[in-house]
Amino acid sequence: MSASAFGPAAEPIVVDIWSDVVCPWCYLGNAVFKQAVEQFPHGSSVQVRYHSFQLNPSFPVGEAVLADEYLAQNFKMPKAQLEASHAQLAARGAEAGLDYQFSKTVMINTLDAHRMIHLAKAHGQELPMVDRLFRAEFTEGLNLSDHAVLADLAVELGLDRAEAEKALETKAYEQDIRADLAQARQLGISGVPFFVFDNKRGVSGAQPIEMFRKALDVTWQDRAASPA
Phi, psi of 50 (to 5 degrees): -95, 145
CATH number where 173 lies: 3.40.30.10
Total structural domains in the chain? 1
What is the spatial distance between Cα 192 and Cα 205, in angstroms, rounded to a whole number?
Answer: 6
Whether residue 1 lies inside any domain: the answer is: no
Q: Which residues lie closer than 8 Å to 189 by C-beta, 6 or more apart?
A: 18, 53
The answer to whether 103 and 140 are in contact (CB under 8 A) is no
Give the residue from 138, 126, 140, 210 showing the smallest Cα distance to 173. Answer: 126
Residue type, 226: S
Whether residue 55 lies inside any domain: the answer is: yes
Percent of the chain with pLDDT over 90: 90
Strands (E), 41-111: 46-52, 65-66, 106-107
Q: Give the 3-state secondary structure of residue 133.
A: helix
Whether residue 224 lies inside any domain: the answer is: no
What pLDDT score does 3 carry? 38
Rounded mean pLDDT of the chain?
94
Whether residue 187 lies inside any domain: the answer is: yes
The answer to whether 17 and 181 are in contact (CB under 8 A) is no
Looking only at the bridges linking them, the beta strands covering 106-107 and 201-204 are unpaired
Residue type, 114: H
Whether residue 71 lies inside any domain: the answer is: yes
Boundaries of domain holding 56 = 6-216
Whether residue 133 lies inside any domain: the answer is: yes
Summarize pLDDT for 83-108 with one digit per residue, the tens.
Answer: 999 999 999 999 999 999 999 999 99
Whether residue 228 lies inside any domain: the answer is: no
Look at 224 and 8; give whichever has higher pLDDT. Answer: 224
Summarize pLDDT for 140-182 with one digit per residue, the tens.
Answer: 999 999 999 999 999 999 999 999 999 999 999 999 999 999 9
Whether residue 227 lies inside any domain: the answer is: no
What pLDDT score does 10 carry? 54
Q: What is the mean pLDDT of residues 118-138?
A: 98
Which band of pLDDT confidence, cut at 50, 70 and 90, is reported for residue 227? low
Q: Return the exposure string of 162-186: e unless at least 16 CB atoms fall within 10 Å of the residue's CB, then b.
A: eebeebbeeebbeebbeebbebbee
